[in-house]
A and B are shown apart, each in its own frame.
Chain A
Amino acid sequence: MKQKDLEKKSKEIKNLIKGVVDKTIDIPNNSIILDPDILIEIFTKKRLELIRFINQYNPKSMQELANLTNRKKQAVDRDLKILERHELIKLEKAGKTTIPKIEKKFLVLGLTEAYSLGNENINASKSEIEGHKKLLVAIGNL
C-alpha cells in the first residue's frame, strides 16, 4: 500500500472514531467495517449467496448447504473457510458434522451508493461519513 493510501486509511479511521465518540456515526457493536476494495475480495456472488442461505435456512451441515445452493461440497467448504477466516461466519463442530452459523450481525460497507445483497431479510440504513454514503447491512435476525 502506498504512503498516500496509508494516510487516507488512517484519516478515515480517525474520522470514524471521532464520529462514534461525537455520536454523529452510529455503528452497532461488533460491526466489521469494509472498504469496497476489500469487499470485492471477500464477497463473491456465491459467497454472498451462502451467507443468505445460512441466514434463511439455518443448515445443519455443510452438505445441506451445498444441496441448498446446488454446489459441490468442496466448493462450499472452501468458500465457508474464507468467510470464517474473515470472521463473518462461524463453523461449529458437532460430532462429525460442521454447522455454519452467522458470526456478525452487521457489516458496514464503505460505499458511494446503495448496495443490496438481494435478500429481503436484510435491513439497511445509511449514514454519512465525510460525504460518502455508508451502508449498514444487518445480517441475520435482529
Chain B
Amino acid sequence: MSKLKKFSKFLTSEDLLDITLEIKKKEIKKFALNYRALINNKWEQIYRVDNFHGFLHEQRFWRGKEPIPIEERLSNNIIIDKYVDFIVNNFYKFKHYFKESKKNETKRSRKKVKRD
C-alpha cells in the first residue's frame, strides 16, 4: 500500500517549498513540489511541478494556471532531485517574474477601468 507524506521546508522566512510524496516500497510513485512566497502579507503560489494527475507537468503561475506538460524518461526519484535543484536555484527569479506579472495585471485592470 502506498503512503502519502506531506511536509514544508522554508527556503527563507518568506519562501516556502511544499513537498508531497506518494511512496510505495521505498519508491516515489507520485510527487508534487509547490513553491510559495509571502508577497504583501499573502502566501502566493508561484511555481508547481507534479505528476499527480497522471502526467508530469509544471505550472508557472506568473504566466497563468495552465499546466505545461513535461517529458521526462527518468525515474521519479531522479526527476524530483532535478526539480528541487531547479526550484532552489531559481526561486528568486520566479518570485520576481510573479511580482512583475501582478504589477502588469494591475496596470491592465486600471487601464480597463479608465476605458470603461
Q: Which positions in A face B, CB cutoff 8 Å?
A: 1, 6, 9-10, 13-14, 16-18, 20-23, 27, 29-35, 38, 41-42, 81, 85-87, 108
The chain A residue sitting closest to B19, CB to CB, is A17
Number of A-B contacts (CB under 8 A): 73
Q: Do A21 and B89 touch across chains, with their CB atoms under 8 A apart?
A: no
- A62 to B5 CA separation, bound complex (whole angstroms): 33
CA distance A29 to B12 in the complex (A): 21
- Return the chain B residue nearest A106 by Cβ: B7
Instruction: Tell me whether A31 and B19 are in contact (CB under 8 A).
Output: no
CB within 8 A of A34: which of B10, B81, B85?
A: B10
Classify the interface of chain A: helix, strand, loop or mixed. helix
A33 touches B77 (CB 8 A): no
B89 touching A17 by the CB < 8 A rule? no
Contact B88 A86 (CB under 8 A): no
Alpha-carbon separation in the docked complex, A10 to B4 (Å)? 22
Contact B88 A29 (CB under 8 A): no
Q: Residues 1-24 of chain B: 1 if any A CB is under 8 Å from the residue's CB, otherwise 0?
A: 000111111111100010101010
CB of B72 within 8 Å of the partner chain: no
Give Cα A13 to B81, complex, Å. 9
Interface residues of chain B, those whose CB is within 8 Å of chain A, are 4-13, 17, 19, 21, 23, 26-28, 38, 41, 43, 77, 80-81, 84-85, 88-89, 92
Which residues does chain A contribute within 8 Å of B38, judged by CB atoms? Answer: 85
Among A14, A17, A30, A87, point to the contact of B6 (Cβ < 8 A): A30
Q: Taking A33-B9, A38-B12, A38-B13 as contacts, is the C-beta distance between A13 and B77 under 8 angstroms? A: no
B13 touches A42 (CB 8 A): yes
Chain B hits for A86, CB < 8 A: 10, 13
B88 and A33 contact, CB distance less than 8 A: no
A33 CA to B17 CA, complexed, in Å: 10
Q: Is there an interface contact between B6 and A35, defined as CB atoms closer than 8 Å?
A: no
A16 to B88, CA, bound (A): 14
Which chain B residue shows the least CB distance to A9? B88
- Expressed in whole angstroms, the Cα–Cα distance for A20 and B80 within the complex equals 13
A17 CA to B84 CA, complexed, in Å: 10
Residues of B within 8 A of A18 (CB): 77
- Residues of B near A27 (CB, < 8 A) are 5, 7
Using known A-B contacts A21-B26, A21-B77, A34-B10, determine if residue A10 contacts B89 with beta carbons closer than 8 Å.
yes
Find chain B residues with CB under 8 A from A23 CB.
26
- The answer to whether B41 touches A85 (Cβ under 8 A) is yes
